[in-house]
């Protein structure tokens, strides 16, 4: 297809005809083109463009200004090129297939030196876009246009938190609605369930002016979170809704209450619980879809969430189904780092759950997947976390494990799984205080719902190493409530019960452990459990023996 327009977005913003002849445009027209260029499929709603480029104007004046700007831009481009821009009553579309984006050098900034005086919304969009391009380019090494395609193909679904409405009368200028939206965005961003659109970008949308499907088309999001908040003294009450933006359906709605000081200090238990329930809702929906549709038909992120959920189960056929789903995703995109990483974790969990027939083969395959993921994205935090898990849990190379976890946390300081497993490694190395602190911190980062049992289990083991037996029992039981047959939790519970002087209960825990893992014995414990080599390892083995584990 013939290229009609050439656009340079890095360094000084430039526009030229297909033959290279420059086109001189004013700042507002350049900004309009930039917004359309960076939109998924080149589509922006009129409401978004009006709010971003004419934020100080009254609504009717902004609409008229956009109409004038489009007409003037088409005139500057000329009749042959103007057809790359199409507009209807709701949205404006730029035909990206007829545009060539000039290559950029590594150190060139997006729209370098560009300013649009008095338009704060555009300035915020420009700043956030530069940050996201810089972060993504550093991680992937891809040029900007390639990187945008990479983001569009990401498996984790995009979710946006819209500004909350404050219901208290007479307090239109109160920041409480913005504050709760920003805090919920941060809380969701720590989850492994989805990717969260920057609140600086999503705050420009108002569901009273645009429909959820329009936000989805403009921002590329699958899900929206909206709500209202009311303050009553030192308490806040929030109504929170989760929307399927594409289908324009509310799929989850809950009421939450909590202390205002906790929200102000970033420690709101209500928002953590909302995050957990949102994650569980999306994962439950994914498992339902994957279970009742042929594998190739659901969207990639639905399959991924379903696979992650099934990987946590102790039923061999369901666990095996998770690998089948991941292989379908790998067939679609053989080099996708997220898919490769979770395939590696599948082999690690296969050993931990006692399903592996050859520990060395699973360790080798997990290493292969980790290496492939890091070849595609050398900075990917979850892939470095996988390398650490292989080193600590399968190979007992704790120094290598700590190095991998540090690399993961350098890329993403909130990588909950890296924090958790680094804590476990400190426990194996006789540093229980650090182990408890890190595993507690990881649990506060609200991981993806189906993995919560695993976080509780590892945290229970860290508390066992610190001789916090009651806490270890509490966390092990919490883990077992979600996954009653998980061997690590049963083992930790049995040891903690025996060492705290409750031998009868310890024997019962061992009976459950042997039912879940009939092949488990003390020889296997010494050979396969990383904690067996710790200072307390022999004491724990003796506790298991007294509680009934065979030699």
Q: What is the pLDDT of residues 450-468, one digit of tens each?
A: 678 889 999 999 999 999 9
Among 364, 386, 413, identify where a domain stops: 413
- Asked if residue 258 has pLDDT above 70, the reply is yes
Q: Per the structure block, which two tokens stand in for 166?
A: 């404050």
- Asked if residue 512 has pLDDT above 90, the reply is yes
| Structural domain includes residue 281 | no
| Structural domain includes residue 420 | no
- Asked if residue 523 has pLDDT above 50, the reply is yes
Split at pLDDT 50, 70, 90, the class of 211 is low
- Asked if residue 440 has pLDDT above 70, the reply is yes
Beta-strand runs (E) in 46-175: 85-87, 91-94, 99-101, 158-161, 165-166
- Asked if residue 323 has pLDDT above 90, the reply is yes
- Asked if residue 290 has pLDDT above 60, the reply is no
Beta strands 14-17 and 5-8: pairing type?
antiparallel
Among 379, 413, 447, identify where a domain stops: 413
464 with 535, same domain? yes
Tally of helices (H runs) and strands (E runs) in the chain: 25, 12
257 with 308, same domain? no
Cα 14 to Cα 123, 163, 287, 541, distances in angstroms: 19, 34, 47, 70
**Which range has highest mean pLDDT (136-140, 324-328, 532-536)?**
324-328
Q: Which of 56, 57, 89 lies closest to 70, judged by CA?
A: 89
CATH number at residue 53: 1.10.10.10
Gap between the Cα atoms of 464 and 473, Å rounded: 8
212 with 127, same domain? no
89 with 132, same domain? yes
| Secondary structure (3-state) at 22 | strand
164 with 139, same domain? no
CATH number at residue 248: 3.40.50.10610
| Structural domain includes residue 287 | no
Q: What is the 3-state secondary structure (H, E, C) of 57-77?
A: CCHHHHHHHHHHHHHHHHHHH
232 with 316, same domain? no
- Asked if residue 144 has pLDDT above 50, the reply is no
CATH number at residue 495: 1.25.40.10
| Structural domain includes residue 279 | no
Tally of domains within the chain: 4
Higher pLDDT, 141 or 281: 281
Cα 398 to Cα 186, 431, 437, distances in angstroms: 31, 12, 18
384 with 331, same domain? yes
Give the Cα-Cα-Cα angle 411, 416, 422 (nearest 5 degrees).
Answer: 85
Split at pLDDT 50, 70, 90, the class of 137 is low
Q: Kindly calculate the radius of gyration of the chain based on its CA atoms and give it in whole angstroms.
A: 27
Query: Does pTM top 0.85 for this prediction?
Result: no
174 with 144, same domain? no
10 with 117, same domain? yes
Tell me the per-residue pLDDT of 260-270, one tens digit each, with 9 for 90 and over.
888 877 778 88
490 with 524, same domain? yes
Q: What is the mean pLDDT of residues 218-233?
A: 79
| H runs (alpha helix) in 430-486 | 432-444, 452-465, 469-482
Q: Per the structure block, which two tokens stand in for 24?
A: 């001189």
Tell me the per-residue pLDDT of 340-358, one tens digit each, with 9 for 90 and over.
999 999 999 999 888 888 9
Start-to-end CA span in the chain (Å): 72
- Asked if residue 200 has pLDDT above 60, the reply is no
Split at pLDDT 50, 70, 90, the class of 170 is very low
**Which range has highest mean pLDDT (49-63, 105-119, 169-183, 207-221)?**
49-63
| Structural domain includes residue 391 | yes
Beta-strand runs (E) in 56-129: 85-87, 91-94, 99-101
**Residue with tokens 């067939």, as numbered in its chain:** 331
Q: What is the mean pLDDT of residues 131-140?
A: 59
- How many CB atoms lie under 10 A from the CB of residue 77? 21
- Identify the pLDDT of residue 85: 93
547 with 435, same domain? yes
Q: Which domain holds residue 177?
A: 158-274
Cα 172 to Cα 255, 263, 354, distances in angstroms: 22, 19, 58
Among 274, 307, 325, identify where a domain stops: 274
Lowest mean pLDDT: which of 3-12, 208-217, 399-408, 451-460? 208-217
Split at pLDDT 50, 70, 90, the class of 178 is confident
145 with 170, same domain? no
């Amino acid at each position: 297809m013939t290229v009609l327009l050439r656009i340079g977005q890095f360094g000084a913003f430039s526009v030229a005809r297909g033959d290279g002849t420059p086109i001189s445009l004013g700042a507002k027209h350049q900004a309009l083109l930039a917004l359309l260029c960076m939109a998924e499929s080149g589509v922006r709603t009129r409401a978004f463009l009006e709010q971003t480029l004419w934020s100080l104007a009254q609504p009717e004046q902004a609409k008229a200004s956009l109409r004038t700007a489009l007409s003037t831009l088409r005139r500057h481009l000329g009749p042959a090129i103007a057809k790359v821009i199409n507009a209807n009553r709701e949205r404006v579309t730029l035909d990206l297939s007829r545009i060539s984006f000039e290559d950029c050098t590594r150190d060139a900034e997006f729209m370098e030196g560009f300013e649009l005086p008095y338009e704060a919304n555009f300035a915020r969009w420009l700043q956030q876009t530069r940050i996201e391009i810089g972060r993504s380019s550093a991680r992937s090494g891809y040029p900007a246009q390639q990187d945008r395609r990479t983001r569009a193909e990401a498996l984790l679904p995009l979710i946006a938190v819209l500004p909350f409405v404050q219901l208290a009368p007479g307090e239109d200028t109160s920041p409480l609605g913005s504050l709760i939206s920003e805090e919920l965005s941060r809380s969701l961003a720590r989850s492994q369930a989805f990717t969260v659109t920057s609140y600086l970008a999503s705050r420009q949308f108002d569901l009273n002016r645009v429909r959820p499907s329009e936000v989805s088309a403009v921002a590329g999001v699958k899900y929206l979170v909206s709500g209202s908040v009311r303050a009553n003294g030192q308490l806040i009450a929030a109504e929170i809704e989760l929307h399927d933006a594409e289908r324009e359906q509310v799929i989850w709605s809950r009421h939450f209450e909590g202390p205002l000081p906790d929200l102000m200090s970033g420690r709101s238990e209500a928002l953590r619980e909302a995050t957990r329930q949102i994650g569980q809702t999306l994962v439950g929906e994914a498992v339902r879809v994957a279970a009742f549709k042929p594998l190739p038909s659901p969207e990639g992120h639905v399959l991924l969430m379903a696979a992650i959920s099934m990987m946590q189960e102790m039923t061999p056929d369901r666990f095996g189904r998770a690998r089948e789903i991941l292989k379908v995703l790998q067939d679609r995109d053989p080099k996708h780092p997220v898919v490769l990483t979770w395939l590696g974790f599948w082999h690690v969990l296969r050993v931990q759950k006692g399903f592996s027939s050859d520990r060395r083969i699973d360790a080798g395959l997990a290493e292969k997947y980790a290496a492939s993921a890091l070849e595609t994205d050398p900075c990917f935090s979850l892939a470095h976390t996988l390398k650490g898990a292989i080193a600590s849990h399968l190979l007992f190379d704790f120094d290598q494990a700590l190095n991998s976890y540090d690399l993961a946390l350098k890329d993403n300081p909130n990588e909950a799984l890296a924090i958790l497993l680094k804590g476990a490694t400190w426990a194996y190395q006789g540093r229980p205080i650090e182990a408890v602190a890190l595993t507690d911190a990881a649990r506060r980062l609200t991981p993806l719902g189906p993995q919560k049992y695993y976080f509780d289990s590892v945290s229970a083991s860290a508390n066992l190493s610190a001789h916090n037996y009651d806490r270890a029992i509490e966390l092990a039981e919490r883990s077992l409530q979600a996954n009653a047959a998980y061997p690590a939790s049963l083992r930790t519970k049995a040891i903690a019960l025996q060492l705290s002087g409750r031998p009868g209960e310890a024997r019962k825990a061992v009976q459950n452990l042997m039912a879940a893992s009939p092949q488990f014995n003390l020889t296997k414990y010494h050979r396969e459990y990383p904690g067996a080599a710790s200072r307390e390892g022999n004491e724990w083995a003796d506790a298991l023996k007294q509680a009934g584990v065979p030699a």
